[in-house]
Amino acid sequence: MDRADVVARVDAAFETTGAGMTGWPPPRPLDAAPRDEEYSRVLDPGKYRLLGARYEAWARTLVDVGAAVRTDGEPWAEGVPNYGVTRTEGLKPTVRGALPITVGHTRIEDNADAGLVVGVSAPAVLVAALPYCGCDACDDGSVLLLRQLDDTVWLIVSGAFTRVEARRGRSVQTTPEGGWSGEGFSSASTAEQVLAAADSPRKGYTVTHGASWFG
């Protein structure tokens, strides 16, 4: 299954899981600077529950096509992410060698299930926190936010996620935006080289990479 086919099914499921919820436009032009007061303000934290509805659409779709079964999620490799996780769930792929997804629902202000953190593998490593910051200043509208969630899930289920861990706390991994993030390496070029060589890693390096969920 290609991305267009899967996302079309997710969109159809989202009509049910997101019923009664509405998206929202960017609060300002994307090239406009936020006002100072927006950085400490969250006028409508409940709107971010749309993320959970979109994830549920993904979960239903992946289960319905036989690509996954629901789980309680995996333990986190470095402890529960510090985003106010209130509950956790997950998806285990039915294809051998594919990586499981763990999702934590996070509190934003007084909404217990507003945001999401998405992890991959077992134990789970963090791939994305959505929204990264829930304040009004960092709000770019729901279209971009839902696209980020779609990109994150697709990164995992397509088999494109790769993470390389080295000694002394160094690591680098692919990101939903098509780039990479890393820590502990002496330079960006070194991290890029390590990730590029994931198919034949150096001694002492641990590679996490899974198959596509669709066989």
Q: Is residue 34 part of a domain?
A: no
Q: Is 205 exposed, middle or buried (0-12, 13-18, 19+ CB in 10 A)?
A: middle
Q: Are residues 140 and 181 in the same domain?
A: no
Residue 67 lies in a domain: yes
Q: Beta strand 111-120 with 101-108: parallel, antiparallel or unpaired?
A: antiparallel
Rounded to the nearest 5 degrees, what angle is found at the Cα of 139, between the Cα atoms of 177 and 53? 75
**Quick one: pLDDT at residue 21?**
97
Over residues 12-45, the pLDDT tens digits come to: 999 999 999 999 998 888 788 888 888 888 889 9
Q: How far apart are CA 155 and CA 10, in angstroms?
A: 15
Q: Is residue 33 part of a domain?
A: no
Q: How many CB atoms lie within 10 A of CB 48?
A: 24
Q: What is the DSSP string of 48-99?
A: GHHHHHHHHHHHHHHHHTTSEEEES-PPBTTSS-TTTEEEEEEEEESSTTPP
The reply to whether 49 falls in a domain is: yes
Extract the tokens encoding 165. 């861990």
Between 6 and 29, the higher pLDDT residue: 6
Residue numbers of the domain that contains 103: 3-19+42-157
Question: For residues 38 and 32, is the Cβ–Cβ distance under 8 A?
Answer: no
What value does the mean pLDDT take over residues 63-92? 96
Residues 126 and 77 in one domain: yes
Question: How many residues are present in the chain?
Answer: 215
Beta bridge partners of 91: 70, 101
Average pLDDT over residues 128-133: 93
Q: Largest Cα–Cα distance in the chain?
A: 53
d(CA 81, CA 77): 10
Both tokens of 141, joined, read 């509208």
Inside any domain, residue 176: yes
What average pLDDT does this structure show over 136-147? 92
Evaluate if residue 130 carries a pLDDT over 80.
yes
Q: Are residues 92 and 168 in the same domain?
A: no
List for the chain the helix, strand, coil content (%; round to 5): 30, 25, 45
What are the beta bridge partners of residue 70?
Answer: 91
Residues 14 and 70 occupy one common structural domain: yes
Tens of pLDDT along 35-74? 888 888 888 999 999 999 999 999 999 999 999 999 999 9
51 found inside a domain = yes
Same domain (yes/no): 146, 186: no
Quick one: 52 and 72 in the same domain?
yes
Q: Are residues 73 and 140 in the same domain?
A: yes
Looking at the fold, whether 172 and 95 belong to one and the same domain comes out as: no
State the pTM of this model.
0.93
Residue 170 in any domain: the answer is yes
